[in-house]
Amino acid sequence: MTRTAVIAGVGPGLGASLARKFVAEGCEVGLFARSADYLEELADELGDDALAVPTDITDPEAVAAGFEAVRDAFGPVDILVNHASGGSWSGLRDISLEAFERAVQTSAAGALLCSQEAVGDMLAGDGGTIVFTGATSAVRGRGGAIGFSAAKFAVRGMAESMARELGPEGIHVAHVVIDGGIETPSVRESRPDRDEAAFLDPDAIADSYWHLVEQDRSAWTLELDLRPYVEEF
């Protein structure tokens, strides 16, 4: 059975790996991000099963229009990955209210808007899956990154609340803690002497996301913790 997925927040790292994995597993995928050029490039690579939908996920009207474009192309949404993050790397004394709000709007409010759109389709159908991309900062606040930490804590709380609300309705909600750096193209370029074992492979992370989609309802995961192998953590 072909499933329709939306990945909200697609870039050249994990977002692209998720898109490739879901298409490879037979999904038709809507790609959301602000960067139209990159989305079109990735959609061209993936072929007819991918749709580039340039979308500001903090804008309710843009989100509604984006989901409608996906429905028109592929049908109701079965899978949503809330992957967008608002990077705000300042501490308490340096951050502006604008930067703080931008981090929360992108990570938490954007996920709220996308989830509200997707859930209607899932409730009208046979259920579905919503996965949130979290970070170490979702469980342990990062010094000097108060906006990012607050936003990721909010996302984790949303995932837990939604799981309890929507689980009985057949919707699997899961939160993934990415506890480490991801081996993105920019990391490979900027750190040629890095220890590759110290970074998470985005394709391997995408495999874990797909496992969440495929889980039997009798054994759903609420929170999945992923990290590269280290002798002590």
Q: Which of 44, 49, 7, 148 is nearest to 90 (CA)?
A: 148
Inform me whether the pLDDT recorded for 22 exceeds 80: yes
Question: What CATH code is assigned to 4-226?
Answer: 3.40.50.720
DSSP class of 222: S
Amino acid at 64: A
Cβ neighbours of residue 61 closer than 8 Å, sequence gap 6 or more: none
pLDDT tens string 42-53: 999 999 999 999
Q: How far is 143 from 152, CA to CA, in rounded Å?
A: 14
- What was the pLDDT predicted at 233? 46
pLDDT tens string 7-19: 999 999 999 999 9
Where in the chain are the domains? 4-226
Find the length of the chain. Answer: 233
How many helices, marked H, and strands, marked E, lie in the chain? Answer: 8, 7
pTM of the model: 0.93
